[in-house]
Amino acid sequence: MQRFYLSGGFEKHEIEEIHRTALTVLKKSGILIPNNTVLECLEGLRGIQIEDSIVKFDDTLISEILNDIVISSQNKEEVQKGKRDLKCTVGGLSLRYSDLENDKIRDARSTDLVDMVKLADSYELSGVNPLTPVNLPTYIREVAIHKLCIENGQNIGCGIMNSAEQAEFIYDMNEVVGRKTSFSLWTISPLQLGNDSLDMCIRLGKKKNTRVRITNMPMLGATSSVGLREALCQSLAELLGGLTVAFFLVGKEKIDFRLHTLIYPFDMRFGNCIYGSPESNLMDLLSMQISDFYGLPKGPVRGYKSLGKGHDVESAVERALGVFAAALNGWTEFFAVGRTCNDEVFSPVQLVIDIEILHYVQRFVEGYRWKNISDDEYLISKIEEARSGTRTFLEQEETVQHEHAKNYWFPELFNYERLESWLLGGAVPLTERAREIAKVRLKNHCFERGKEEQKEINQIYQKALHHLH
């Protein structure tokens, strides 16, 4: 049985044209780099021309680096055959929190962050801080967030590091607990590298156990052309330009180069990206197809995206379809569970629902176990027994042994019972069941850092307080 699948709508020659145009943009227009230290590092290198702060790249140089990165990535990537295990990661960075007790939306506090890290860790999720507590002072906020994350979860940490100074203390904490430190080299649309992230590359790029992502966020009609083709060309040029700079700043072994969302649909009526819309999913499929064209590893996809306000029908439809479409296209990791109204609010109830969505889609992509019919007469005898009433299918051996159960998913949250039994059981709404699941998981969570690790983390935090204040 072949698996069901989706793909983007490009022909191969159309992707090749986008690629050629992106290289032409970098060769003729270049990318703005507002950092003298970086400009000095690039000065005199083959295939690079610098005019004031504009850096232009020869297309041969970019092609060589891209090919080198693709080969390096493929060598690192574990190729999995057969069953495709889907996974999700927690995300958010949200300034607001949907209270677990009553769904009331309010400003996020440090105690909320601790609880949500524990809830995510109870599912063994990795990812970034679900919340950005507003009660933490900005001068220490990123370090404090990371400290709270690593104290209460195994694989969750501060997601956005804007301060290179704070990032160095986060790096020190990660070394204590044996984690890599990942950060982004941001390309600000159109075609300008972010100075803060360039400083991050300079400070952290050569340290051991660091990885650099190349990131951008062009929005149709706002920070890129409103035309789809032109926007894709610009976005690809931004990422390839950032990749080339990172190659010389940190080296290929430290670069994590993946494509998942090249462009974002922008609603000019409300001034925001329309996450979860049909256009958003279509643009992701096109981006995934371009990624596959290059042979890049499949990275995390923004599957859980919606502008639904809470646990409503819009949120359910948009989030489920986002994960579903990407999974049918062969992508297996989805980030930002629990995040609602794009990234404004984090909800524990939504996190539980999102896990259930993942399990639903996992069951779908697994398909059916196919059993060849090796004995026609045996099948006929089963049919005749059932038809005559001698032995119904419910009484036959395969059913009695519950063979059918191997083909079924039995959900934790969704309810497949009939109306009458549901009413007799108290008619508990799905969101209330999700709320109770979250509460039980929080109560039973028991992760704790070792005493020596905690001691070193506390010392680093005290040093950061003294240095950064």
For 383-437, what is each residue's pLDDT tens digit?
999 999 888 888 887 776 776 667 788 899 999 899 999 999 999 999 999 999 9
Residue 456 contacts by C-beta under 8 Å, 6 or more apart in sequence?
A: 176
Using only C-alpha atoms, the chain has a radius of gyration, in whole angstroms, of 25
Predicted local confidence at residue 259, as pLDDT: 93
Q: Is the pTM of this model over 0.85?
A: yes
Residue 186 clears pLDDT 90, i.e. is over it: yes
Q: Using CA atoms, how far apart are residues 457 and 454, in angstroms rounded to an integer?
A: 5
Express each pLDDT in 104-127 by its tens digit: 999 999 999 999 999 999 999 999
Top pLDDT among 5 and 327 is at 327
Length of the chain: 469
What are the residues facing 96 on neighbouring strands?
107, 345
CA distance 283 to 278: 9
Which of 39-43, 116-120, 324-328, 366-370 has the weakest average pLDDT? 366-370
Residue 435: exposure state from Cβ atoms within 10 A (0-12, 13-18, ≥19): buried
> Mean pLDDT in the chain?
92
Q: In the structure encoding, which two tokens stand for residue 13, read together?
A: 């020659």
Query: Residue 185 — φ and ψ, nearest 5°?
Result: -95, 110
pLDDT at 342: 87
Nearest to 333 by CA among 289, 298, 385: 298
Contact in structure between 337 and 351 (CB atoms under 8 Å): yes
